[in-house]
């Protein structure tokens, strides 16, 4: 059975002065994912290794990590698909660290909540469901796949520089509701992204597009929000 | 994290939009400036030849427009870079904008003063 060397960045802010890399040898078969490898390390070598996971099917966004120099979901990264047998696993960079591979996502979710990521309506709901044409639904295809893993937020230079920038994930979610034909938030959500802590802090660096494990395009969504703000404020168009 | 600081942030649309508009003006303006200076033969690049070209109202208007566009684009660009790394509070951002506007208006007046003989006609 081939053996992969897991090179894992460890840091416990309570006990360590500096981060370090620990090495573990993990035997693998065809289907071993990086997340499986981390479980193996935890069970056989070091029970104190900390990491987040939940669904193991690339839909919950808990296990986003920096694996071999790229943002990946540990659960959908097959060890065999990585180049070579040495696998470097680090927590997402530029984020406050809780321990080992666990980032502090408090700010990320506070900003996410700030843009009010839910459907807002003023008019009376119809008796049955709120209808949508296939074309209207198609607009949601891209942004609706966001799993809030935080890779885009961690890789965005505008977030590194300006801690109050709400970041690509929250803005992509704002876009997701703004293009939704059922949403009627109008001015309420506009106030959250139409400012310099919002969409205008994005300088289209597109790191987020490169980092996204779901291959989404937050930059495109943010550019749409800027154009929408101009359309609404200058021409009074609401959608 | 306190999100109430985000609530204090308003505006930014005009700065963003004008940065795009001045960018287009600069591309067109610089292209015509370079073409008229270096390709359309006006002879030697001397004071007399440039002064002669500036006698045309079109070129004076073009120069004033370029001056305004360059100043806005450059100072707003500098402002964006500064805000990317520094000055998050509302009062600080306002102070920065005010300072840059003063610099811009002063530089614009200085530019108008240099062009004044031709503006006056």
Specify whether A112 is located in the same domain as A87: no
Whether B28 is covered by a domain: the verdict is yes
Section A49-58 average pLDDT: 96
Residue-range definition of the domain harbouring residue B115: 11-120
Min Cα distance B6 → chain A (Å) is 6
Whether B97 is covered by a domain: the verdict is yes
Mean pLDDT of chain A: 94
Residue-range definition of the domain harbouring residue A40: 3-103
What percentage of chain A reaches a pLDDT higher than 70? 99
Whether B35 is covered by a domain: the verdict is yes
**pLDDT digit string, tens, across residues A136-164:** 999 999 999 999 999 999 999 999 999 89
Specify whether A191 is located in the same domain as A229: yes
Nearest to A206 by CA among A160, A161, A170, A157: A157
- Per-residue pLDDT at A238: 61
Facing residue for A233 by CB, picked from B1, B13, B93? B13
- Per-residue pLDDT at A153: 98
Min Cα distance B2 → chain A (Å) is 8
Facing residue for A200 by CB, picked from B1, B12, B88? B12
The residue behind tokens 């002064």 is B51
Domain stops at, among A103, A137, A168 = A103
Whether B2 is covered by a domain: the verdict is no
Specify whether A56 is located in the same domain as A170: no
Whether B1 is covered by a domain: the verdict is no
- Per CB-CB distance under 8 Å, the chain A contacts of B3 are 110-111, 113-114
State the pTM of this model: 0.91
Which residues 6+ apart lie within 8 Å of A10 measured at CB? A16, A19, A20, A21, A22, A49, A100
Specify whether A96 is located in the same domain as A116: no
CA torsion A129-A135-A136-A139 (nearest 10°) is: 130
Specify whether A110 is located in the same domain as A76: no
Specify whether A195 is located in the same domain as A140: yes
| B1–A226 CB contact, under 8 Å | no
Specify whether A55 is located in the same domain as A129: no
Specify whether A52 is located in the same domain as A112: no
- Per-residue pLDDT at A58: 95
> Domain total for chain B?
1
B120 vs B90: CA distance, rounded Å: 42
Contact of B81 with chain A, judged by CB distance below 8 Å, is answered with: no
Specify whether A127 is located in the same domain as A230: yes
Contact of A204 with chain B, judged by CB distance below 8 Å, is answered with: no
**pLDDT digit string, tens, across residues A201-239:** 999 999 999 999 999 999 999 999 999 999 998 888 665
- Per-residue pLDDT at B33: 83
**pLDDT digit string, tens, across residues A87-98:** 999 999 999 999
The residue behind tokens 């044409």 is A133
Specify whether A16 is located in the same domain as A61: yes
Section A36-40 average pLDDT: 97
A71 vs A232: CA distance, rounded Å: 36
- Per-residue pLDDT at B118: 86
- Per-residue pLDDT at B80: 93
CATH code, domain carrying A29:
3.10.20.30
Specify whether A23 is located in the same domain as A7: yes
Contact of B3 with chain A, judged by CB distance below 8 Å, is answered with: yes
pLDDT above 90: residue A70: yes
- Per-residue pLDDT at A187: 82
Domain stops at, among A103, A131, A159 = A103
CATH code, domain carrying B25:
1.20.1300.10
Facing residue for B88 by CB, picked from A164, A166, A203? A164
Contact of A158 with chain B, judged by CB distance below 8 Å, is answered with: yes
What would the 3-class secondary structure string for A99-137 be?
Answer: ECCEECCHHHHHHHHHCCCCCCCCCCCCCCCCCCCHHHH
Min Cα distance B68 → chain A (Å) is 22
A185 vs A118: CA distance, rounded Å: 10
Specify whether A126 is located in the same domain as A74: no
| A200–B16 CB contact, under 8 Å | yes
CATH code, domain carrying A163:
1.10.1060.10
Section A40-69 average pLDDT: 96
Domain stops at, among A85, A103, A121 = A103
More confidently predicted of A19 and A238: A19
Which residues 6+ apart lie within 8 Å of A105 measured at CB? A95, A150
Q: Which of A103-107, A177-181, B39-43, B115-119 is least confident?
A: B39-43
Whether B4 is covered by a domain: the verdict is no
> Domain total for chain A?
2
Whether B33 is covered by a domain: the verdict is yes
| A166–B6 CB contact, under 8 Å | yes
Min Cα distance B106 → chain A (Å) is 26
Residue pLDDT tens, chain B, 121 long = 777 777 777 788 999 999 999 999 999 998 988 888 777 766 677 888 888 888 888 889 999 999 999 999 999 999 999 999 988 788 888 999 999 999 999 999 999 999 998 888 7
Residue among A112, A113, A197, A222 with most chain B CBs within 10 A, to mutate: A197
Whether B114 is covered by a domain: the verdict is yes
């Amino acid at each position: 059975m081939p053996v992969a060397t897991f090179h894992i960045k460890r840091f416990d802010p309570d006990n360590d002065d500096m981060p370090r890399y620990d090495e573990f040898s993990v035997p693998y078969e065809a289907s071993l994912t990086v997340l499986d490898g981390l479980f193996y390390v935890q069970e056989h070598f070091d029970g104190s290794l900390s990491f987040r996971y939940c669904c193991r099917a690339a839909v919950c966004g808990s296990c986003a990590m920096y694996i071999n120099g790229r943002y990946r979901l540990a659960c959908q990264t097959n060890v065999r698909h990585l180049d070579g047998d040495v696998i470097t696993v680090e927590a997402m960079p530029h984020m406050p660290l809780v321990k080992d591979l666990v980032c502090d996502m408090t700010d990320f979710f506070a900003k996410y909540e700030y843009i009010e990521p839910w459907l807002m309506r003023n008019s009376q709901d119809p008796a049955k469901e709120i209808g949508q044409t296939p074309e209207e639904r198609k607009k949601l295809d891209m942004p609706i796949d966001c799993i809030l893993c935080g890779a885009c937020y961690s890789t965005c230079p505008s977030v590194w520089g300006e801690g109050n920038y709400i970041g690509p994930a929250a803005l992509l979610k704002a876009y997701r509701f703004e293009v939704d034909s059922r949403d009627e938030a109008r001015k309420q959500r506009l106030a959250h992204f139409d400012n310099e802590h919002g969409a205008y802090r994005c300088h289209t660096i597109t790191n987020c597009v490169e980092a996204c494990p779901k291959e989404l395009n937050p930059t495109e969504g943010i550019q749409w929000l800027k154009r929408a703000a101009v359309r609404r404020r200058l021409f009074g168009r609401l959608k | 994290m306190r999100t109430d600081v985000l609530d204090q942030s308003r505006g930014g649309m005009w700065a963003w939009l004008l940065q795009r508009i001045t960018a287009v003006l600069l591309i067109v303006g610089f292209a015509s400036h370079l073409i008229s200076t270096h390709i359309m033969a006006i002879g030697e690049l001397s004071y007399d030849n440039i002064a002669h070209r500036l006698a045309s109202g079109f070129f004076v208007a073009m120069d004033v427009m370029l001056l305004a566009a360059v100043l806005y684009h450059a100072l707003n660009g500098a402002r964006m870079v500064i805000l990317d790394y520094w000055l998050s509070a509302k009062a600080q951002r306002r102070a920065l904008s005010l300072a840059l506007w003063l610099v811009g208006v002063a530089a614009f007046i200085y530019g108008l003063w240099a062009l004044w003989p031709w503006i006056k006609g």
